[in-house]
Structure 1
Amino acid sequence: MSSSQINVTPVILSGGSGKRLWPLSRATFPKQFLALSGKTTLFQQALGRLQNLNSKLVRLNDFLIVTNEEHRFLVLDQLRETKNIKAQLLLEPDSRNTGPALTLAALQASEDEQDPILIVMPADQVIQNTVSFLNSLEDAINIAINGSIVVLGVTPTKPDTGFGYIQKHQDESEHHSFKVLNFFEKPDSSLAESFIKAGNYFWNSGIFILRASIWIEAVKQFSLEIYEPVQKAFDRRTNDSMFIRPDRDLFITAPSSSIDYAVIEKCPSSSFDIKMVILDAGWSDLGSWEAVWQVGLKDQSQNVSYGDSLLENTTNSLIYANHKLVATLGIDNIVVVETADAVLIANRNQSQNIRLIVDKLNLSKRKEEILNRKVSRPWGWYDNLDEGENFKVKRIQVNPGASLSLQKHNKRAEHWIVVKGTAEIICNDKKIILKENESTYIPLGFKHRLSNPGQDILEIIEVQSGTYLGEDDIERFDDYYGRTFN
Structure 2
Amino acid sequence: MILPVIMSGGSGSRLWPLSRALYPKQFLALLNEQTLLQETVNRLDADACINPLIICNNEHRFVVAEQMRDNGCDASDIILEPMGRNTAPAITLAALSALEDGNDPMLLVLAADHIVKDIPAFQQAVVAAKAFAEQGKLVTFGIVPTHAETGYGYIKQGAAKSQGDAAGYDVAGFVEKPQLATAQLYLESGDYLWNSGMFMFKASRFIAELKKYSPEILSVCTEAYAHKTKDLDFTRISADIFAKCPDDSIDYAVMEHTQDAIVIPLDAGWSDVGSYSSLWEVCEKDAQGNVNIGDVINQDSTNSYINAGNKLVTTVGVDNLVIVETKDAILVADKDKVQDVKAIVEKLKAANRYEYKSQREVYRPWGKYDSVDMGNRDLVKRITVKPGQKLSVQKHYHRSEHWVVVSGTARVTNGDKTILLSENESTYIPLGAVHSLENPGKILLEMIEIQTGSYLGEDDIERFEDRYGRK
Which residue in the other structure is 1:326 paired with?
A: 313
Q: 1:167 aligns with which of 152, 156, 164?
A: 156
Counterpart Cα distance in 1 of 2:296 and 2:192: 40
Q: Is the 8 A contact 1:13 1:122 kept in 2?
A: yes
Which residue in the other structure is 1:381 paired with?
A: 368
Structure 1 residue 284: Cα displacement: 0.5
Q: What does residue range 50-449 of structure 1 map to in structure 2 within 5 Å?
A: 50=44, 52-53=45-46, 55=47, 58=48, 60-85=49-74, 87-169=76-158, 171-174=160-163, 175-267=166-258, 272-449=259-436
Structure 1 residue 213: Cα displacement: 1.0
Q: Is the 8 A contact 2:79 2:236 kept in 1?
A: yes
Number of residue-to-residue matches in the alignment: 469
Counterpart Cα distance in 2 of 1:89 and 1:281: 28
Counterpart Cα distance in 1 of 2:73 and 2:237: 27
Q: Is the 8 A contact 1:170 1:200 kept in 2?
A: no
Structure 1 residue 37: Cα displacement: 1.4
Q: In structure 1, the residue corresponding to 2:29 is in which secondary structure?
A: coil
Does residue 10 (structure 1) correspond to residue 4 (structure 2)? The answer is yes
Q: 1:42 aligns with which of 31, 36, 45?
A: 36
Counterpart Cα distance in 2 of 1:29 and 1:86: 18
Q: Is the 8 A contact 1:173 1:179 kept in 2?
A: no
The residue type paired with residue 61 of structure 1 is I
Which residue in the other structure is 1:32 paired with?
A: 26
Structure 1 residue 48: Cα displacement: 1.1
The residue type paired with residue 259 of structure 1 is I
Structure 1 residue 84: Cα displacement: 4.0
The residue type paired with residue 18 of structure 2 is L
Deviations 1:100-121 (A, max 9, x none): 1111111001111111100000
Indicate the larger mover: 117-126 or 344-353. 344-353
Structure 1 residue 127: Cα displacement: 0.5
Deviations 1:117-142 (A, max 9, x none): 00000000000111111011111112
Deviations 1:117-173 (A, max 9, x none): 000000000001111110111111121111101111111111111101111125342
Instruction: Give 4+ residue runs of structure 1 displaced > 6 Å after superposition.
Output: none
The residue type paired with residue 358 of structure 1 is V
Counterpart Cα distance in 2 of 1:122 and 1:374: 25
Q: In structure 2, the residue corresponding to 1:315 is in which secondary structure?
A: coil
Counterpart Cα distance in 1 of 2:195 and 2:148: 13
Q: In structure 1, the residue corresponding to 2:300 is in which secondary structure?
A: strand
Q: Is the 8 A contact 2:130 2:200 kept in 1?
A: yes
TM-score by length of 1: 0.94
Deviations 1:278-300 (A, max 9, x none): 11111000000001100001000
Q: In structure 1, the residue corresponding to 2:43 is in which secondary structure?
A: helix
Q: Is the 8 A contact 2:65 2:75 kept in 1?
A: no
Q: In structure 2, the residue corresponding to 1:231 is in which secondary structure?
A: helix
Let me know the Cα RMSD of the aligned residues: 1.2
Counterpart Cα distance in 2 of 1:393 and 1:99: 44
The residue type paired with residue 46 of structure 1 is T
The residue type paired with residue 321 of structure 1 is A
Q: Is the 8 A contact 1:62 1:87 kept in 2?
A: no
Q: In structure 2, the residue corresponding to 1:322 is in which secondary structure?
A: strand
Counterpart Cα distance in 1 of 2:448 and 2:385: 12
Q: In structure 1, the residue corresponding to 2:311 is in which secondary structure?
A: coil
Q: Is the 8 A contact 1:63 1:87 kept in 2?
A: no
Which residue in the other structure is 1:3 paired with?
A: none
Structure 1 residue 61: Cα displacement: 2.8
Q: Is the 8 A contact 1:147 1:211 kept in 2?
A: yes
- Gaps in structure 1 of 5+ consecutive residues: 1-6
Q: Is the 8 A contact 2:154 2:192 kept in 1?
A: yes
TM-score by length of 2: 0.97
Deviations 1:328-349 (A, max 9, x none): 1110000001111211111111
Q: Is the 8 A contact 1:161 1:189 kept in 2?
A: yes
Counterpart Cα distance in 2 of 1:439 and 1:86: 36
The residue type paired with residue 26 of structure 1 is R
Counterpart Cα distance in 1 of 2:374 and 2:436: 23
Indicate the larger mover: 357-366 or 209-218. 357-366
Counterpart Cα distance in 2 of 1:150 and 1:280: 16
The residue type paired with residue 45 of structure 1 is E
Q: In structure 1, the residue corresponding to 2:460 is in which secondary structure?
A: coil
Indicate the larger mover: 40-49 or 363-372. 363-372
Structure 1 residue 364: Cα displacement: 2.3
Deviations 1:318-361 (A, max 9, x none): 00111211111110000001111211111111112222222222
Counterpart Cα distance in 1 of 2:20 and 2:340: 16
The residue type paired with residue 226 of structure 1 is I
Structure 1 residue 86: Cα displacement: 5.2
Structure 1 residue 87: Cα displacement: 4.3
